[in-house]
Every structure is written in structure tokens, then in C-alpha cells.
Amino acid sequence: MIIRMCQRWILFIPFMILSLVSLFSGIPAEASCGTTSCFLSIDSIQGLPQKGILNVNVTYNYVKLGQIDGTSGRVPGTANTTDRVLVIDGHREIRTINQVYALDLNLGVTDRFAVQFTLPYIVRLHRHTIREGNPNQTEAKFTDNGIGDIRLIGKYNIFPSLLHSFALGIGVELPTGKYNQPINTPANRQPPGVQLGRGEVGVIGTFYQTYAILPNTLTQFSSGSYRHTFRNDNGYQFGDEYILNTGINYQSFDWLALNLQFNWRYAVHDNFNSSLSQFTPGGGGPMRIDPEIKNRRVPNSGLSILMLTPGFSVNLPASTSVYFNVQIPILRDFNNNLGQNTSFIAGISHAFSVF
């Protein structure tokens, strides 16, 4: 018994050290356009509850993005949805802070079918410089908060058993978040990547898989999702997004579980139905290069990132648990935009019996 407890604590200590070092290694809160939340696998959110069980999750998500080594933060193109023009050069990202509070409801309708509802509330502060290198260079600030885009997903477990499961999901992302918010001072809109919502319906596909390597002790899991958003009425279409997670969960004690996972996220370049302009260093406004309104790739959008995520969850009485995860970037490419640094997510889960 004593030997087994020692073995469990030996596995627990590295997780804690890695989590704490990751958390305090990057206290400055910086973020960029485009990424609003951590992407990782949480069983009480991705999994399927039993029939009549409602899993309620409340999470707090703090995402850090900043200037990546070797990049300037000066983006090659910015979408101006007010004038329907893609402006080349003259825009440099300074800082964004994203904080996301989310309510997630996961209801087991039958033993194999569940419905998931996700309601995010976003608090965002963004700063950038426009007309970079121009005599009329100015710094713009944008602060906003409110409900983001709501997700509704139906999930079905096609391979249920005591040792493994595999569930597929399909759903929609509803355009409930604001997407026409202006800069705090001028009347022009902020770029689409800074807005709280995407402005159009999206379709979602998901999967979630688990396998008990050692029943009640060691479990392997993986999950993934695909999102496609249609073009909004500003002529802007966010690029398709792919997410893939895989990891292990170790039940160290009855009250404590450790998990370690890899998270990969890839987003295709956005597309903007617009004309084309470019800022000139001599002053004045942007010079029109191509007045034709047509589909154009937004060069500073899109990303690819791989992250390592250690975490733990603590089981409390009355079907309640709390959890904490830290995401550490391993590989990342944000097309000269600000990139995601160390981020974390904390949450609490409670299971209700509703019928």
C-alpha cells in the first residue's frame, strides 16, 4: 500500500511542477486577433453523460498571445469591412487580452445520444497601430465584452462498451456575438478577427474517443473538431478550422486525476470580398491598387500551432469536480501576427440527475 502511494505521488509531482512553471513563466497578458480560447479535451465537456444526467461546466479561460521571436507584429494586410477594402501594410499589432467565461451544458438524452450547448462570454482588450511609418500614424484601442457565438451540438456514441467508446457529433455555431463593433474613438469598424462574433452561421463536426488501458486507472483519449463558417454580410469569411487532441488520463487517487495531452490547431486563411489598397509612407490615406471587388485571401489570418497541456482534476463530494490545465506552445506559425503563448483554463463541473 505504501509503495503504491509513493508511486502515485512520484507521478503527480512532475505534473504540478510543469503546470506551475508554465503558469508563472509568462505573466504579461498579451494576445492577438483571431484566437479567443484554449483548445483542449475535457471529459465532462467532450464526453457523453449517461441517460438523464446533465453535466454543467463553468470555465474561465485566459489566453496569452504576443509577438513571436523573429516577427515584427506588422501584418501584411488588414480587412477594412467599413469600406470593403483590404489594406496592404501599415498595420502593426501591439496587444490583445482575451478572457473567456463559458457555460457548457451536456445532457444525456439516451445512453448513446447527448446534446451539448456552449455559451461563451468574452472580455477583450485590443491595441494596434495603423498607418505604421506614416506621418499620420495613430494608435487605435478597442475594448469590448459580451456574448460570443453559441454552439449547439448533438453527439452519438457509435461504439459503446466498458473499455472504449467512440462518439461522433454534428452541430451549428450561431452568430450571436457582435461583429460590427467600431474602434473606441473613430467610427470605423475593428478588423473581423477582433470582433466577438463571426457574423454568420457555422457548421461543426466533432469526435471523441476513449480507451481504458488499465480500467479505473489509466485511460487514453482523443478528440477533434472541424468548423466551417459561411460568408457574412460584410463580405468576410473566416477560414476553416481543424483541431486534434490526444492524451492520457491517470487516476492517481480516488479524488485526484492527472492528464497530459497534445493539442494541434490549424486554421485556413480567411477570405474577404473586397477591393485592394496600400498605405504610402508619404502621408495621406491608402492608395487604391485594385478597385475591383473580388474574393481575396487575407494574408495575416490563418495559423498552425501545436501545444503540450498538463493538467489535473480534483473530485469533490456531490458529483462535483474542479480542474486546471496549462497549455505550452511547442510549434507555432501565425503568419507574422501575434502568436499564442502560455495559456490556462480553470473550471468546475457538476453532474445533475434530471430524469
Query: CB of 323 within 8 A of CB of 104?
Result: no
Q: Bridge partners of 166? A: 209
User: pLDDT: is 24 or 39 the higher one?
Assistant: 39
| pLDDT at 73 (0 to 100) | 58
Is the confidence at residue 16, as pLDDT, over 60?
no
| pLDDT at 208 (0 to 100) | 97
Query: Given the C-alpha cell 470555465, which residue does it identify?
Result: 59
How would residue 90 be classed by pLDDT, with cut points 50, 70 and 90? low
**What letter represents residue 316's amino acid?**
L
Domains of the chain plus CATH, in order, are 2-353 (2.40.160.40)
Is the confidence at residue 113, as pLDDT, over 80?
yes
Is the confidence at residue 283, as pLDDT, over 70?
no
Output DSSP code: residue 134: S
Q: Bridge partners of 244? A: 224, 264
How far apart CA 35 and CA 49 sit, in angstroms, is 29
How far apart CA 48 and CA 226 sit, in angstroms, is 19
How far apart CA 119 and CA 344 sit, in angstroms, is 19
Is the confidence at residue 325, as pLDDT, over 90?
yes
| pLDDT at 300 (0 to 100) | 82
| pLDDT at 183 (0 to 100) | 74
pLDDT tens readout for residues 240-254: 999 999 999 999 999
Is the confidence at residue 84, as pLDDT, over 80?
yes
Is the confidence at residue 214, as pLDDT, over 90?
yes
User: Hey, is 13 helix, strand or coil?
Assistant: helix
- Burial of residue 28 (number of CB atoms within 10 Å: 0-12, 13-18, 19+): exposed
| pLDDT at 345 (0 to 100) | 95
Q: Bridge partners of 63? A: 98
User: pLDDT: is 90 or 177 the higher one?
Assistant: 177
Query: CB of 331 within 8 A of CB of 262?
Result: no
How would residue 34 be classed by pLDDT, with cut points 50, 70 and 90? very low
Write down the mean pLDDT value for the chain.
84
- Cα three-residue angle 39-112-151, rounded to 5 degrees: 35
221 phi-psi bin (left φ>0, alpha ψ -120 to 50, beta other): beta
C-alpha distance across the termini of the chain, in Å: 40
Query: CB of 148 within 8 A of CB of 122?
Result: yes
| pLDDT at 77 (0 to 100) | 67
CA 334 and chain centroid, separation: 14
| pLDDT at 76 (0 to 100) | 59
| pLDDT at 284 (0 to 100) | 61
| pLDDT at 31 (0 to 100) | 33
**What letter represents residue 44's amino acid?**
S
| pLDDT at 65 (0 to 100) | 74
| pLDDT at 83 (0 to 100) | 86
Grid coordinates representing 161 are 462498451
- Burial of residue 284 (number of CB atoms within 10 Å: 0-12, 13-18, 19+): exposed
Average pLDDT over residues 313-329: 96
Q: Which helix (DSSP H) or strand (DSSP E) does residue 86 occupy?
A: strand 85-108
pLDDT above 90 covers a percentage of the chain that reads 58
- Cα three-residue angle 289-301-273, rounded to 5 degrees: 45
Query: Given the C-alpha cell 486554421, which residue does it identify?
Result: 267
Is the confidence at residue 41, as pLDDT, over 70?
yes
Is the confidence at residue 2, as pLDDT, over 60?
no
| pLDDT at 142 (0 to 100) | 77
Neighbouring CB atoms inside 10 A of 129's CB total 18
| pLDDT at 7 (0 to 100) | 46
**What letter represents residue 51's amino acid?**
K
Query: Given the C-alpha cell 511609418, which residue does it identify?
Result: 133
User: pLDDT: is 139 or 201 the higher one?
Assistant: 201
| pLDDT at 339 (0 to 100) | 76
How would residue 93 be classed by pLDDT, with cut points 50, 70 and 90? confident
Average pLDDT over residues 151-161: 95
Is the confidence at residue 17, as pLDDT, over 60?
no
| pLDDT at 335 (0 to 100) | 78
Average pLDDT over residues 226-250: 97
| pLDDT at 194 (0 to 100) | 85
**pTM for this structure?**
0.85
Output DSSP code: residue 240: P
How would residue 353 be classed by pLDDT, with cut points 50, 70 and 90? very high
